[in-house]
Amino acid sequence: MIPDDIRFCVAPMMDWTTRDCRAFHRVLSRRARLYTEMVTTGAVIHGDRERLLGFSQAEHPVAVQLGGSDPSELAEAARICADLGYDEVNLNIGCPSDRVQDGRFGACLMREPALVGDCVAAMKAAVSVPVTVKCRIGVDDQDPEAALDALADAVVAAGADALVVHARKAWLQGLSPKENRDVPPLDYGRVHRLKARLPDLPVALNGGIATIETCRDALDHVDGVMLGRAAYHDPEILLRVDPDLFGEPAPVADGFEAVEAFEPYVAARLAEGARLSTITRHMLGLFAGRPGARAYRRHLAMEAVKPGAGLETLREAVAHVRRAADAADARKHAA
């Protein structure tokens, strides 16, 4: 199951990789491994599980990402998530936000590899699905060589099934979470050296990867790649995952077929009481760069929020792109 299942992953992203986003991404790739937003152990144990953790069976393979630092709480949360049917439980050791630091989890745990090892060991003892860790190469003034090795050695000793490494440091003071995604320099070589040192540990690379070509290059050095914003803002990139990285046909031919294939899911969610805009906000990047894409986005932004908006609203938005494509074809043939 690991490492082939981590060959291509869509990163967990707060407020973005919701159940609706994941369901749409699954239409575009059968093989991409999908991740939830980070969910804290307290929310899993005490919160509204259907709202926080509900997912459709079509999303498999799908992993849940947990935030926490108490081994017993993480074990309980992992057990709950495994019982719900998640294929993997991932521990967040990479998020740099103040709220996460205040709760003593996320990237600040790079400074406490022994505790992370205890957390992983407790989760492994609680569930039979893979337990993985997503981390940075270090935080603040840590030496990335020593910091990443210490974290990796601790989780390997605890039985972690894979490590996903965002190849940047996290600066916990002075940089916002947004700046932490861009400002610290990427160091892919550091992740390559980790994989070379621990050849039996499945390692996936995250951070700054924006094209399938870059994915292929990275896979010469590591077992998997994880895309975040690139996959979200231009979801049609996922259409190349199955053919280019797995040698299998894409599930749909293009964005038009993707919308048609997604319509039954949208209809079902609308019947449950979901607003159209809740679903389609994750589709705004579709058709990026094509004629009519701006009109498509504008139509959804203005119309999908209205009470009663349904499938016809989505079809009308897509029609802007179809008309633009037809007009371009007509001009081409006329020339």
What number of residues does the chain have? 335
Same domain, yes or no: 147 and 19:
yes
The answer to the question of whether 208 is labelled as a binding residue is yes
pLDDT of res. 177: 66
What is the span of the domain harbouring residue 237?
4-246
Same domain, yes or no: 195 and 269:
no
Same domain, yes or no: 68 and 183:
yes
Supply the DSSP string of 106-127, one letter for each residue. GGGGGG-HHHHHHHHHHHHHH-
The answer to the question of whether 283 is labelled as a binding residue is no
Question: What is the distance between the alpha carbons of residues 291 and 272, in angstroms, rounded to a whole number?
Answer: 34
Same domain, yes or no: 50 and 29:
yes
Phi-psi domain of 197 (left: phi exceeds 0; alpha: psi -120 through 50; beta: other)? alpha
The answer to the question of whether 229 is labelled as a binding residue is yes
Same domain, yes or no: 219 and 106:
yes
248-254: long-range contacts (C-beta < 8 A, 24 or more apart)?
248/30, 248/31, 250/28, 250/29, 251/27, 251/28, 251/29, 251/30, 252/27, 252/28
The answer to the question of whether 134 is labelled as a binding residue is yes
Q: pLDDT (tens digit, 9 = 90+) per residue, 210-228?
A: 999 999 999 999 999 999 9
Please give the angle made by the CA atoms of 276, 281 and 283, to the nearest 5 degrees: 100
Q: Which of 191, 221, 246 is the last residue of a domain?
A: 246
Same domain, yes or no: 87 and 148:
yes
- Parts of the chain with a pLDDT under 70: 1-4, 98-103, 174-183, 335
Same domain, yes or no: 40 and 72:
yes
Please give the angle made by the CA atoms of 278, 264 and 33, to the nearest 5 degrees: 70
Same domain, yes or no: 157 and 220:
yes
Domain count of the chain? 2
pLDDT of res. 330: 72
Q: Which of 246, 276, 299 is the last residue of a domain?
A: 246
Q: pLDDT (tens digit, 9 = 90+) per residue, 5-51?
A: 899 999 999 999 999 999 999 999 999 999 999 999 999 999 999 99
CB 44 within 8 A of CB 66: yes
Q: Which of 246, 280, 315 is the last residue of a domain?
A: 246
The answer to the question of whether 92 is labelled as a binding residue is no
Q: Hey, is 169 helix, strand or coil?
A: strand
pLDDT of res. 100: 58
The answer to the question of whether 12 is labelled as a binding residue is yes
Question: What is the distance between the alpha carbons of residues 143 and 195, in angstroms, rounded to a whole number?
Answer: 18
Main-chain dihedrals φ then ψ at residue 136, nearest 5 degrees = -100, 180
Same domain, yes or no: 218 and 308:
no
Catalytic hit among 9, 21, 81, 95? 95
The answer to the question of whether 13 is labelled as a binding residue is yes
Same domain, yes or no: 197 and 319:
no
Q: Rounded to whole angstroms, what are the CA distances from 249 to 227, 234, 238, 313?
A: 20, 20, 12, 30
Same domain, yes or no: 226 and 276:
no
CB 45 within 8 A of CB 77: yes
- Whether 135 sits among the annotated catalytic residues: the reply is no
Same domain, yes or no: 222 and 144:
yes
